[in-house]
Structure 1
Amino acid sequence: MKQQDRDQLIARITEWMKDHTYTQVVDSNGVEVWRCKKPDTNHLAFDICVTPSFMAIAGDIGDLLFRVGSGYGINFLRHQCDGYMHEKLAEAYRQVKEFDRESFLDDVVDAVCERISTDVPEDLLPDWAEEGKRDVSADDVIEWLRERADDDEPADFPFDDVASALERAQEIVGYGREADSVIAHDFLRENESVLGISDTFEWHLDKPTVSIWRRLFYVRHAANAIMAIKEQQQTEVA
C-alpha cells in the first residue's frame, strides 16, 4: 500500500473509532479478552482474544488470526511495521491477496527505462531514463518511444515494439476485476526480450488486500487504546 493511501486509511479509521470504548471481559487462566465498541451500537464492534497460543479478532470489522499468543501480548498488536504484523497472521489470512496493478506497471516502466538507458545512444537519452530519476509515467515513455520511432534516422532500437509492450501492460492494468497476476506473468514471459528483462517468474505481482490492511489498522488503533488503559492502571496501583 502506498504511503499516502495508508495515511488516509489510518486517518479515517481514527475518526471512525474516536468514540470506541475498551472493556476487559475476560482475564483468567492465561486468556485475555477485550471488547472494543461504541456505546449503544455494534457498528465496528469487535473482540480481541489473547491466549497462550494465538490471538484472534472477530466482530463487525471482520476477523483475523495471529500465530502468536500471550507471550507477545496485546502490545504486539501496536507494532508499527505493517509487514511484520502481516507475517504473523495465520497462513489463510496471509494468502488473501490481490493483483498489485500499480507496482506491476511501475516495474514495467522501470524495466523499459533501464533498457533505454542501456541500449539507446547517449545523445538520444532522456533525463528520466537515468537510474534515480525515473519519476515518469507510462504515457510519457510511450510518447517518447513513438516520437523516436518516427525519426528519419532512428537508432538501432525497437522503439515501436517497446512502446507496444508498454501499452499492453497498461491494458492489463485497466482490465478491471479481470486483471490478475496470472495474466501479468504471461505478458512478462512473452515480452522478456522486448523489455530487456529475465526471470520474470520471480516478480511478486500480488499484495495483501485493502480489507486485510483495514482490519490490521483497526486492531492497532484498539491495541494502542488498550495499552494506554493498562499503563494508567499500573500507574494508579503504583
Structure 2
Amino acid sequence: MFSDADAAALYDLLNPWDPDHRPGDRFSMELVMAADSVLDVGCGTGSMLHVARERGHRGRLVGLDPDGVALARAQRRADVEWVEGTAASAGWEAEFELATMTGHAFQCLITDDDVRTSLAAVHAALRTGGRFVFETRHPQARAWEDWNPSNPSDIVDLVDPAGRALRVWHEVQSLVGDLVTFTGTTAQPDGTVLRVDRATLRFLDVTAIDAFLSEAGFEIEAQYGDWYRAPITGTSREIITIARRVPPPGGRL
C-alpha cells in the first residue's frame, strides 16, 4: 500500500523547500519575509510557511489548500493558520499584503472560470497595493516533452521517509490545446507499481496571463523569465509574475 499520506511525505522529499540552494525558493522567500501578512494559495504541505516561521517571520501566515491530506501534514506546525479550501471558496477581504502561488500551482487552474474566480478571490483578499506573486512554465519551452520515462533525468530513485526504496517517473498522456495531462508513477525499484496519480496542467502564455490579471483588477509590477530576474525572452522557461492590486477607478479600497 502507498497511501495519500505516504504520497504527501514523498512530495516533501522530492520538493524540499530550500531558499539557500534553490533560486525559485529564494525569490519567493524574500518577498514573504518582507510582508507583514501572507496568504499562500495552494500551500500543499506548507513547507514555505514552515521555513518562514523558522526564519523569524512574526506576522500573519495563512496556508490555503483543497487537499486535506497535504494540509494535515502542513498542520504539524501550529503557529501558522491552515485553511482547507480553494481561493474561490475563501472569503477574505483586504487582509493580506502578499499572496503567493508557488510550485507552479497556478497551472492547476485549467479553465477560464477557474482562473477568473481564483484571481477575483486573491484580489479581494489583498489590501490595495498588495502583491500577488506566482509562476507558470512558459509554453514555448515545452517542458512536458521531458516528462517521460525515456528521459533519464525524469526517473528518480530514492528512499522515502518510511525507509522504502522507490522509483518515481512521469509520462504525458495527452496534449490538447494548452492543457497537458500526465501521470506520475511511484514504484518499487524493480518496476512494481505502487501508485499512479493523474493530473492536468494549463500552459498559458504571457498575453493570456496578463489579460486575466487586468480583468481581475491587477497591474503587472514585474515579469521575469527566470529566478534571477532576467526579462522574458524567446528562450525563457518560466513566466514569473508580480502583480499589484490597484484601486478601482475613482475609488479607494
TM-score (norm 2): 0.20
More helix by share: 1
Tell me which of the two structures has the higher relative contact order, counting C-alpha pairs closer than 8 angstroms and 6 or more residues apart: 1
TM-score (norm 1): 0.21
Radius of gyration: which is bigger? Answer: 1
